């Protein structure tokens, strides 16, 4: 049995993105259409730019499967780039503020932002989305569902109870939204905000919320820093380009309240995960670095895209003069896309934690370990 690990390769305008996911148990009937569906979802959202009209992301499986099932060997995926122009693209003469350009050039000791930006580009998140869409199928086999929706755009918020109000209609509402949001009232307002920012040559950030239902208690660990799931899920989300903040449950608000208004009472609740539950879920589903069995609730802040049509002040490498950064095309906002990537990276991290606890070489072995744990929880 291998610990679940993954990696990607590929430049934004290179031939393709490549991904390897190692440690999936054998015997999972992977629905590959789901991978393409998640890729399509990541390409959508009002405010996306010209590049998304060029790409039509599609995954090819190169290894790790036979007759529709995983073999337990590394799963290798490929997404071809239609905009394969890396050798034709010029070298920018200045670094774009907000991007990896300058720090990357300093790191490499080269005046060549393209040597940095091709890999630093958020194009890479297409492959993470595909890998996450494969990994989450393990979780789904055990009733665990992930769902992200956009709750704020450019400082304008959806109704705070959008999740509760949407109820069973949430998948339908999100699919109908131009922003992967659950509150239909935001559509007109946010479209106007994106149009205004576009007109001004500017960009918008926002916040998405991720919910994970059906997690058993006790995933992750308290024994060592590296096991704590709060840090692991937080790090996964903060590794997405442009993500600036992550909060669980009450988040920063918890720091302003008294303990009696923060902690969740433990109550008797007979269910599939034993005899205990929490009266409230202000912790957002994690205590002591482990899942509590309540919903995981994470909110994630994304800064506005760093490429602005109006330009930002920078310095020309050759002349040393102050100039405006260059612009060819860009998104005005990609918060809806980031929410899809958020689901994917958290799916990867939670699948890793799930397999650490119940892992086996085959899905059947995982099922046995999971069933034994449920029996143990029922006795506690
Ligand atoms: C990106 C710049 C844009 C985005 C890109 C991320 O690409 P281009 O420079 O080709 O216009 O479209 O995102 C994607 C290609 C994608 O698939 O999400 C950047 O600088 O990070």
> Domain holding 90: CATH number?
3.60.150.10
Nearest CA residue ID for atom 21, ligand 1? 121
What separation in Å is there between the alpha carbon of 22 and the centre of ligand 1? 27
* pTM, two decimal places: 0.97
Nearest CA residue ID for atom 7, ligand 1? 51
What separation in Å is there between the alpha carbon of 364 and the centre of ligand 1? 41
Which residue among 114, 123, 243 has the greatest number of ligand 1 atoms within 8 angstroms of its CB, and so is best to mutate?
A: 123
**Using CA atoms, how far apart are residues 238 and 234, in angstroms rounded to an integer?**
6
Give residue 259's region: left, alpha or beta (phi > 0; psi -120 to 50).
Answer: alpha
Instruction: Give the H/E segment covering residue 199.
Output: helix 186-199
Tell whether ligand 1 has an atom less than 6 A from the beta carbon of residue 245.
no
Structure tokens at 292: 């509590």
Do the beta carbons of residue 202 and residue 308 sit within 8 Å?
A: yes
**Residue 337 Cα: closest atom of ligand 1:** 18
What separation in Å is there between the alpha carbon of 120 and the centre of ligand 1? 10
Tell whether ligand 1 has an atom less than 6 A from the beta carbon of residue 121.
yes
Q: How confident is the prediction along the chain (380 residues), in pLDDT tens digits per residue?
A: 679 999 999 999 999 999 999 999 999 999 999 999 999 999 999 999 999 999 999 999 999 999 999 999 999 999 999 999 999 999 999 999 999 999 999 999 999 999 999 999 999 999 999 999 999 999 999 999 999 999 999 999 999 999 999 999 999 999 999 999 999 999 999 999 999 999 999 999 999 999 999 999 999 999 999 999 999 999 999 999 999 999 999 999 999 999 999 999 999 999 999 999 999 999 999 999 999 999 999 999 999 999 999 999 999 999 999 999 988 889 999 999 999 999 999 999 999 999 999 988 999 999 999 999 999 999 99
Nearest CA residue ID for atom 18, ligand 1? 123
Tell whether ligand 1 has an atom less than 6 A from the beta carbon of residue 123.
yes
**Residue 99 Cα: closest atom of ligand 1:** 20
Nearest to 307 by CA among 51, 60, 128, 54: 51
Nearest CA residue ID for atom 20, ligand 1? 121
How big is the CA angle at 156 (ends 153 and 295), to the nearest 5 degrees? Answer: 70
Instruction: Give the H/E segment covering residue 101.
Output: helix 101-108
Tell whether ligand 1 has an atom less than 6 A from the beta carbon of residue 39.
no
> Helices 32-43 and 335-358: crossing angle, nearest 10°?
150
**Residue 50 Cα: closest atom of ligand 1:** 11
**Using CA atoms, how far apart are residues 351 and 366, in angstroms rounded to an integer?**
12
> For 81-112, b where at least 16 C-beta lie within 10 A, e where not — what string?
beeeeeeeeeebebbbebbbbbebbeeeeeee
What separation in Å is there between the alpha carbon of 314 and the centre of ligand 1? 20
How big is the CA angle at 250 (ends 210 and 344), to the nearest 5 degrees? Answer: 15
Nearest CA residue ID for atom 16, ligand 1? 123
Nearest CA residue ID for atom 5, ligand 1? 123
- For the chain, the 3-state helix, strand and coil shares in percent, each to the nearest 5, are 40, 25, 40
Alpha-carbon distance values, 80 to 57, 89, 168, 366, 371 (Å): 7, 18, 36, 33, 40
Q: What residue numbers bound the domain in which 180 lies?
A: 5-379
The total number of structural domains that make up the chain:
1
What separation in Å is there between the alpha carbon of 121 and the centre of ligand 1? 6
**Residue 49 Cα: closest atom of ligand 1:** 12
């Amino acid at each position: 049995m291998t610990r679940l690990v993954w990696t990607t390769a590929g430049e934004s305008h290179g031939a393709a993105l490549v991904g390897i996911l190692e440690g999936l148990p054998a015997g999972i009937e992977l629905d590959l259409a789901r991978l393409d569906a998640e890729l399509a979802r990541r390409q959508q959202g009002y405010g996306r730019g010209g590049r998304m009209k060029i790409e039509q992301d599609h995954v090819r499986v190169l290894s790790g499967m036979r007759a529709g099932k995983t073999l337990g060997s590394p799963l290798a995926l490929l997404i071809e780039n239609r905009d394969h122009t890396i050798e034709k693209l010029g070298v920018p003469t200045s670094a774009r503020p907000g991007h990896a350009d300058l720090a990357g050039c300093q790191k490499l000791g080269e005046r060549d932002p393209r040597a940095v930006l091709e890999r630093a580009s958020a194009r890479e998140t297409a492959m993470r989305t595909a890998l996450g869409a494969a990994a989450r199928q393990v979780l789904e086999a055990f009733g665990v569902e992930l769902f992200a929706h956009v709750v704020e755009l450019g400082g304008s918020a959806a109704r705070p109870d959008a999740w509760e109000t949407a109820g069973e209609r949430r998948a339908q509402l999100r699919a109908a939204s131009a922003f992967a949001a659950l509150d239909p009232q935001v559509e007109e307002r946010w479209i106007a905000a994106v149009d205004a920012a576009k007109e001004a040559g500017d960009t918008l950030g926002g916040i998405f919320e991720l919910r994970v239902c059906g997690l058993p208690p006790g995933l992750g660990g308290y024994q060592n820093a590296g096991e704590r799931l709060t840090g692991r899920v937080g790090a996964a989300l903060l590794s997405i380009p442009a993500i600036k903040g992550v909060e669980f449950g009450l988040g920063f608000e918890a720091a302003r309240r008294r303990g009696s208004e923060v902690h969740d009472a433990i109550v008797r609740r007979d269910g599939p995960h034993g005899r205990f539950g929490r009266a409230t879920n202000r912790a957002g589903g994690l205590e002591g670095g482990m899942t509590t069995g309540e919903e995981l609730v994470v909110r994630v802040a994304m800064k506005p895209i760093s490429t602005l049509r109006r330009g930002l002040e920078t310095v020309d490498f050759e002349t040393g003069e102050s100039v405006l950064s260059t612009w060819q095309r860009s998104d005005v906002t990609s918060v809806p896309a980031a929410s899809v990537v958020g689901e994917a990276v958290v799916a990867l991290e939670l699948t890793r934690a799930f397999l650490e606890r119940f892992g086996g070489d085959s899905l059947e072995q995982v099922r046995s370990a999971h069933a034994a744990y449920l029996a143990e929880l029922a006795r506690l």
